Amino acid sequence: MSASVHRKSIGFLTLAGAAMLAACGPRTVRVEVAAGEDGAVRTFATNRIDENDAERVRGLYGEGRMRTEGGETAFTAAFPDRLPSEIGNRNGLTSVASPLGSSHLYWESFHTSQDHWSDLSRRIAGGELWVRLFGRWAESRIEDPSKREEFRVVLETEYLPLTRDLMLAWSSMIATSQAHRVGARVRDGDEVDSLTGDERFRRIVFLPFVLMLGERGILDADETQRFTLLAAAGNPGDRQRRWSFDALIGPAMLRQIRRFVPDAEAPTYPSLLASGLSFYFFANNSLRHRALLLESDALTAGERVLLERGEAIPMPPAFGVSIGGRSDPTRAEVSLKTPVKPHLTNGEWIESRSAVEFKSTVPDGVERVSLYPATFHAAWAVPNRSVQESCFGEVLLEGEELAAFCGWHQTLDEVQRDALDEALERLAEDRDRAAFSKAVEAIGASGLPAVLRRWIDDETA
């Protein structure tokens, strides 16, 4: 019985995950963008849209067509410049031109919040509330009064700060991972290949979370290293996961429990589940904890009024984890067709379709674990092949090198730009390399792509 003091830490998180997965009928948003030199053709489709919103979106798409098929309402139209916002999403598609080619950038974000700090503050307040509720539940299972008092102090001075810090670390790591690659997934059990580059990056990003458990004394140094070794192969199997609980997680939990219940038994999966259910039913009674709730900044003004009237309210999320099934996230999928492979993107490039694909779940700001929401993005550069071949005898600048040239070219003043463009024209017409090199020297090569600087050096050597 007493060992349940810390078993709930895993138990109620398991319940939270199950509740989030059980949410039925989420809104899905599917966007297809075919980007070209003169804007884009865009299709927006969703399974959930009322008549007023459909009419508004139809107005955004002008002469474009609307159709209903397979449970989706879809709109398609060409947009020469500005992309529309169908459900409060923010986006952009822009280009910068130069004589040697053009650079393009697309981005799209489906979240509606514009105050991430307020969202974070409420998520932290909700987490603190749940930690203190856990403290009340755990105290009732500690028989020694002096140990109960000790536990109250440790809860406020050790466990609460640790939980907040772990939340901040985890949420920032999720945000960093999404910025690098949206929709990163855990491997299936039968995938045994070596770590990919993305997986190695994520391993580096999330390593500080485990190290913090070692730094704060939850894991000892030996356990910390053994924990990190489980990720070295990329996909720990069932045997390794069972071992990690028996050899690392269970003993670490038992050490904390025995600080207050010296004769506690080692936790097991069934005992953790039972403790989780016990705590869940204890915590999910807002009227029982009315005073504690009213002290919390996690409540909205409307929830506070209802509680003061003696009405029950749904419990706020714990650090962004919705416990009780109140979450209704949007699932967003975007397919961006580009003429060349992007040199910078957090999506997945699908070679067979010449498209970048993005997939992400977009929860409400207070039900988001990530420090900030994912923004889909892709940057690509399209070379002017005929001009480059005339100037250099080949396509010299592509991808990031071409994008860098476009960035360098746009910083030139009118006189410098005219001089460079004229030198490029002469280079294309009669291969006057000296005039081009002289024009670059007069402007200054700082910021010029390395491949072009090398070409100039080779030609003037």
pLDDT tens per residue across span 237-285: 778 888 999 999 999 999 999 999 999 999 999 999 999 999 999 998 8
Mean pLDDT of 405-429: 93
Cβ-based neighbour number of residue 289 at 10 Å: 20
Q: Which residue has the tokens 């109250």?
A: 152
Cβ neighbours of residue 126 closer than 8 Å, sequence gap 6 or more: 296, 298, 316, 317, 318, 319, 320, 366
The partner residues of 335 in beta bridges, in order of sequence, read 32, 357
Cβ-based neighbour number of residue 306 at 10 Å: 14
Percent above pLDDT 90 for the chain: 69
Quick check: 460 pLDDT over 80?
A: no
Q: Which of 87, 15, 16 is nearest to 319 (CA)?
A: 16
pLDDT tens per residue across span 205-237: 999 999 999 999 999 999 999 999 987 877 777
Give pTM, 2 decimals: 0.85
Kindly tell me the sign of the dihedral angle through the C-alpha atoms of 224, 229, 230, 234.
positive
In what side-by-side order are the strands of the sheet with 330-337?
Answer: 65-69, 72-79, 39-46, 27-36, 330-337, 355-362, 348-350
Take residue 296 and report the two structure tokens written for it: 């919390």
Confidence band, pLDDT 50/70/90 cuts, at residue 325: low
Q: How many helices (H) and strands (E) does the chain have?
A: 17, 11
CA distances from 225 to 220, 353, 440 (A): 9, 42, 54
Confidence band, pLDDT 50/70/90 cuts, at residue 25: low
Residue 326 pLDDT: 61
Confidence band, pLDDT 50/70/90 cuts, at residue 189: low
Confidence band, pLDDT 50/70/90 cuts, at residue 24: very low
d(CA 410, CA 59): 35
Residue 95 pLDDT: 95
- For residues 37 and 266, the model is more confident at 266
Quick check: 390 pLDDT over 80?
A: yes
Take residue 38 and report the two structure tokens written for it: 């003169």
CA angle 86, 91, 97 (to 5 degrees): 135
Q: Which amino acid is at 400?
A: E
Look over the chain and give the mean of its residue pLDDT values, rounded to a whole number. 88
d(CA 397, CA 391): 11
Cβ distance 388 to 397 under 8 Å? yes
Residue 2 pLDDT: 35
Mean pLDDT of 99-116: 93
pLDDT tens per residue across span 294-303: 999 999 999 9
Confidence band, pLDDT 50/70/90 cuts, at residue 64: confident
Residue 63 pLDDT: 74
Quick check: 11 pLDDT over 60?
A: no
Residue 178 pLDDT: 93
Residue 236 pLDDT: 73
Which range scores top for mean pLDDT: 113-117, 156-160, 273-277? 156-160
Quick check: 107 pLDDT over 50?
A: yes
Residue 12 pLDDT: 28
Confidence band, pLDDT 50/70/90 cuts, at residue 4: very low
d(CA 101, CA 390): 13
Cα 317 from chain centroid (whole Å): 18
d(CA 206, CA 305): 40
Residue 434 pLDDT: 84
Helix (H, G, I), strand (E, B), or coil: what is residue 398? coil
